């Protein structure tokens, strides 16, 4: 099962991007086939079972979306799909989750033999069908927009910031994807996790 691509912090200013709110949770992947539905699950780095004390309930939440997503995938005659979700609750922060209700939000879809669905097609296909991140902006990310995101002043951005995605530049290639984070969120992470060796991974 494919891993979700690592998100760069290097801003690409020369390409048009689709800008989405960045959800502050944990990445969960789920593999789907026409015969088996959602049958394999994982966190970003390992496989996942329902007995997992933190992320196991993500499996049930994803299967609740089986009818909506499976219907779309079958109508498109996809041979196989890996879906990437964000698992989060109201008080999730920088990879930590409280004992509270959680949800899964569809981030991206990688189709067997086709690659990642174009961000515009993603919006058209899944808006109103399942929950997806809020779409904010389309165009080049100039310095003015970046500054507003850093200051937490860009309408629609989450407290963490935004994710920017281009269309794949050629068949089979990954889309350009990068993140821009709110400085206040970065400061909060540094304060809470001061001294941790993996602090750079959180940012």
Query: Model confidence over 141-180: pLDDT tens digits?
Result: 999 999 999 999 999 999 999 999 997 666 656 788 999 9
* pLDDT at position 192: 85
pLDDT in tens, 28-57: 999 999 999 999 999 999 999 999 999 999
Query: Which helix (DSSP H) or strand (DSSP E) does residue 201 occupy?
Result: helix 199-202
Quick one: which of 70, 168, 180, 171 has its CA closest to 136? Answer: 180
Please give the CATH superfamily to which domain 25-132 belongs. Answer: DNA ligase/mRNA capping enzyme (3.30.470.30)
Q: Residue ranges per domain, the chain?
A: 8-23+134-193, 25-132
Query: Does residue 155 contact residue 137 with C-beta atoms inside 8 Å?
Result: no
d(CA 161, CA 89): 17
Residue 92 has pLDDT above 70, yes or no: yes
CA distances from 108 to 83, 85, 131, 182 (A): 6, 7, 12, 22
């Amino acid at each position: 099962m494919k891993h979700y691509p690592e998100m760069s912090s290097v801003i690409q200013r020369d390409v048009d991007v689709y800008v989405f709110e960045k959800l502050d949770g944990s990445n969960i992947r789920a593999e789907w086939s026409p015969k088996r539905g959602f049958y394999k699950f994982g966190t970003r780095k390992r496989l996942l079972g329902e007995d997992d004390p933190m992320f196991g309930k993500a499996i049930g939440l994803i299967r609740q979306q089986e009818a909506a997503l499976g219907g779309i995938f079958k109508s498109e005659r996809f041979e196989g799909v890996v879906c990437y979700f964000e698992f989060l609750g109201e008080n999730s922060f920088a990879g930590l989750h409280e004992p509270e209700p959680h949800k899964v939000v569809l981030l991206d879809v990688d189709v067997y033999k086709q690659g990642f669905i174009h961000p515009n097609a993603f919006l058209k296909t899944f808006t109103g069908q399942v929950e997806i991140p809020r779409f904010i902006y389309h165009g080049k990310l100039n310095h003015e927009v970046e500054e507003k995101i850093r200051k937490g002043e860009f309408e629609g951005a989450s407290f963490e910031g935004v994710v920017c995605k281009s269309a794949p530049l050629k068949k089979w290639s990954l889309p350009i994807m990068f993140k821009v984070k709110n400085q206040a969120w970065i400061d909060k992470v540094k304060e809470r996790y001061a001294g941790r060796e993996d602090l750079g991974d959180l940012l």
